[in-house]
Amino acid sequence: MRFGIIGSGAIGAYYGAKLAKSGEDVHFLFHSDYDYVCEHGLQVNSVNGSFHLDSVQAYHNAQDMPKCDVVIVALKSTNEHLLKTLLSPLLKEDTWVLLIQNGIGLEEDFVKTFPHTGVLAGLAFICSTKTKPGVVDHTDLGRLNIGNYNCKDDDRLHQLADVMNHAGIDASLVDHDTARWQKAVWNMCFNGLTVALNTQVDKLLDCEATDTLCRDLMMEVIEGARACGVAGLNEDYADRMLNMTRKMRPYSPSMKVDYDHRRPMEIYYLYSRPIAEAQAHGYEMRRMRMLEEQLLFIQQSYINE
């Protein structure tokens, strides 16, 4: 199975490297890392066992990449406008695209641009960062839930999951809408709150007041999902997410990293879109609306510098 990786950062490079290590045909699009990876390869420092890829099929231009069976898109959603240019050269009639991105509404918007392409949601529960060229630091977790949005071939879908599990990726096939909102429960709580309070996830849970706030925020997302008709989310899920997070190593989620580097934050798909979806179904996510407005203020303060 031939894979393309668009967005070879902390997430895309990690999963792509795992697939390449297992013998899959993987082609990576790099930006700033390109020269370094061509010369030195790709290093993954992982809690599950570190490894190095001496030879990487690396590209600096998507036009030079081959057509692929599956393209993993791990770009930040702030770069969605680049997809038409970056993705089109890799597509053939039966290519599937796996969007490992955070937020609600991504697949719906994707098919407006690529109406004839099969698309899957990739929900990564992983702690990984890339703080220097060609090196991924994987510090915790690693599960990848795959939600089918519009792909028709169930046998091929199971084959994809089998390939990923063979590569050491803990991949599971899940209901699309449930999976997106399940990930939103964690993301909408911790991404924005770590920015608004300028802290790490563990610090939030070490304080009784913010620990309670985190649960309240999670419950509001769960109520928003229920209003949108999503089944399988209840109070127990919030408690499981909090317990899982308490066991994680100290960690800054992706939005906090973007804030620290004064980059645009993924506010639209992580906050504005799910808030609007819940509102359209009669539920007001008041706490999340306040957090969204705080994030917009914070972002404006440095984007306009």
Phi, psi of 79 (to 5 degrees): -110, 20
Report the C-alpha gap between 185 and 178 in whole angstroms.
Answer: 11
pLDDT at 109: 96
| CA 253 to mean position of chain CA atoms | 11
pLDDT at 231: 87
Of the candidates 19, 71, 14, the one whose C-alpha atom is nearest the C-alpha of residue 44 is: 14
Of the candidates 51, 76, 61, the one whose C-alpha atom is nearest the C-alpha of residue 28 is: 61
Structure tokens at 74: 């791990």
pLDDT at 305: 63
pLDDT at 58: 97
pLDDT in tens, 58-116: 999 999 999 999 999 999 999 999 999 999 999 999 999 999 999 999 999 999 999 99
Per the annotation, the verdict on 183 as an active-site residue is yes
Domain 178-303: give its CATH code: 1.10.1040.10
Report the C-alpha gap between 65 and 26 in whole angstroms.
Answer: 10
Collect the ranges in the chain with pLDDT lower than 70: 305
Of the candidates 211, 190, 186, the one whose C-alpha atom is nearest the C-alpha of residue 124 is: 186
pLDDT at 194: 98
Q: Do domains 2-174 and 178-303 have the same CATH topology?
A: no
pLDDT at 127: 87
3-class DSSP assignment, residue 301: helix
pLDDT at 142: 92
- The C-alpha angle 24, 57, 255, rounded to 5 degrees, equals 90
Residue type, 34: Y
Catalytic residue of the set 18, 76, 183, 256: 183
Domain ranges (residues) in the chain: 2-174, 178-303
The answer to whether the Cα torsion of 89, 174, 286, 291 is positive or negative is negative
Report the C-alpha gap between 86 and 73 in whole angstroms.
Answer: 10
Architecture of the domain spanning 2-174: 3-Layer(aba) Sandwich (3.40)
pLDDT in tens, 203-213: 999 999 999 99
